[in-house]
């Protein structure tokens, strides 16, 4: 999916293609990004807390932002379909940015096929089926 992250406190924004990861569970909306993406949004180490995260493979620790960012779901022409406020998680081992199940739900994403990359937005008419954005 294509999203725009907006850090309102610094008026910085960044467009990303993110992985929709239904297996990444969170109580609150979260978008996981690389340290470079966080720096592009003017985050510094002081803007994060270290928290314990439970993965399928065991427990680890991640940096999570103290403030939420705005996450906007974009269509193919960069129009905003929906938005939510989410915490930014920074993972230096991340191979591509991802959003968690809570973020997926808040943005109104309805996955039709994970493998084929087919989805729709909850406001789309029944005839609309969207394709995931290619990785950059």
Residue 88 belongs to some domain of the structure: yes
The residue segments making up the domain with residue 40 are 2-131
What is the CATH number for 39?
2.40.70.10
Inside any domain, residue 15? yes
Structure tokens at 121: 């937005």
- pLDDT per residue as tens, the chain (136 positions): 999 999 999 999 999 999 998 778 889 999 999 999 999 999 999 999 998 877 767 787 789 999 999 999 999 999 999 999 999 999 888 889 999 999 999 999 999 999 999 999 999 999 999 999 987 6
Which of 53, 131, 129, 42 lies closest to 93 in space, CA to CA? 53
pLDDT of residue 105: 97
Q: What are the contacts of 105-112 at 24+ separation with CB within 8 A?
A: 106/29, 106/82, 107/1, 107/3, 107/71, 107/73, 107/81, 107/82, 107/83, 108/73, 108/81, 108/82, 109/1, 109/20, 109/73, 111/20, 111/22
Residue 39 lies in a domain: yes
32 inside domain = yes
pLDDT score recorded for residue 19: 93
The pLDDT assigned to 48 comes to 96
**pLDDT at site 134:** 85
Per-residue model confidence (pLDDT) at position 136: 66
- pLDDT at position 39 is 96
Instruction: Give the model's pLDDT for residue 52.
Output: 82
Total domains in the fold of the chain? 1
């Amino acid at each position: 999916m294509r999203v725009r992250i907006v850090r309102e406190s610094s008026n910085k924004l960044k467009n990303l293609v993110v992985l929709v990861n239904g297996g990444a569970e969170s109580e609150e909306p979260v978008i996981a990004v690389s340290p470079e993406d966080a720096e592009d949004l003017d985050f510094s180490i002081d803007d994060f807390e270290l928290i314990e995260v439970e993965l399928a493979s065991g427990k680890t620790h991640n940096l999570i932002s103290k403030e939420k960012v705005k996450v906007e779901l974009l269509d193919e022409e960069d129009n905003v379909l929906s938005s939510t406020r989410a915490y930014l998680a920074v993972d230096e081992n991340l191979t591509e940015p991802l959003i968690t199940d809570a973020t997926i739900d808040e943005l109104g994403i309805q996955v039709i096929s994970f493998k084929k990359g087919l989805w729709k937005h909850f406001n789309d008419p029944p005839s609309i089926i969207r394709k995931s954005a290619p990785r950059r």
